[in-house]
Amino acid sequence: MYEKRVRAVAVVVMALAFAAVLRVAPVYAGAEDWNDKQIAWKTYDDGLAEAKKTHRPICLIFYTTWCPHCANYSKVFSDPKVVEKSKSFVMIHLDADKNKELGQKYAPDGGYIPRTFFLTPNGELDASLSETRDKYKYFYDEKNPDAVLAGMDRALKKIASK
């Protein structure tokens, strides 16, 4: 009788512990919230075709759904200034886990995430359009929209002048 009670208490304690873990475990669902309602995200192929047709530069972002930095960065794209500036670009975002070949193609300084690149309307990477640091050059501040806005401004100035 005593053993049954101990087992029952242990089961209840384990169930409560599991429920507590579920409550406090971090959830990075935000990596999927890239403000699709206000930003016209394209697939890679559709984005390349649109950029060639409209002569607009491309903003290409690699992310994953499990990355907490990507979840933070995705929120930057809800900033009204970023939404407005995005209209000057063809916006493409790709899950790096589902687009490994493209992720390798666009990895001049490694395969970290999130990575943001600015491409010409012909889809060519302009490697000079990056942050000014030795490592993680294509990682923009994940919480401050000013960083990616400055990158967008540099890209528009340089690519538009070609």
Residues pairing with 118 in the sheet: 59
Residue 2 pLDDT? 52
- Going along the chain from its start, the domains and CATH numbers come out as 27-160 (3.40.30.10)
Amino acid identity of residue 148, one-letter, is V
pTM over the 0.85 mark: no
Q: Is 14 helix (H, G, I), strand (E, B) or coil?
A: helix
* Burial group, residue 101, by CB count within 10 angstroms (0-12, 13-18, 19+): exposed
The pLDDT of residue 6 is 45
Distance CA 115, CA 62 (A): 5
pLDDT in tens, the chain (162 residues): 656 554 554 444 454 444 444 443 344 444 568 999 999 999 999 999 999 999 999 999 999 999 999 999 999 999 999 999 999 999 999 999 999 999 999 999 999 999 999 999 999 999 999 998 889 999 999 999 999 999 999 999 998 766
Answer whether 94's CB lies under 8 Å from 62's CB: yes
DSSP state of 30: G
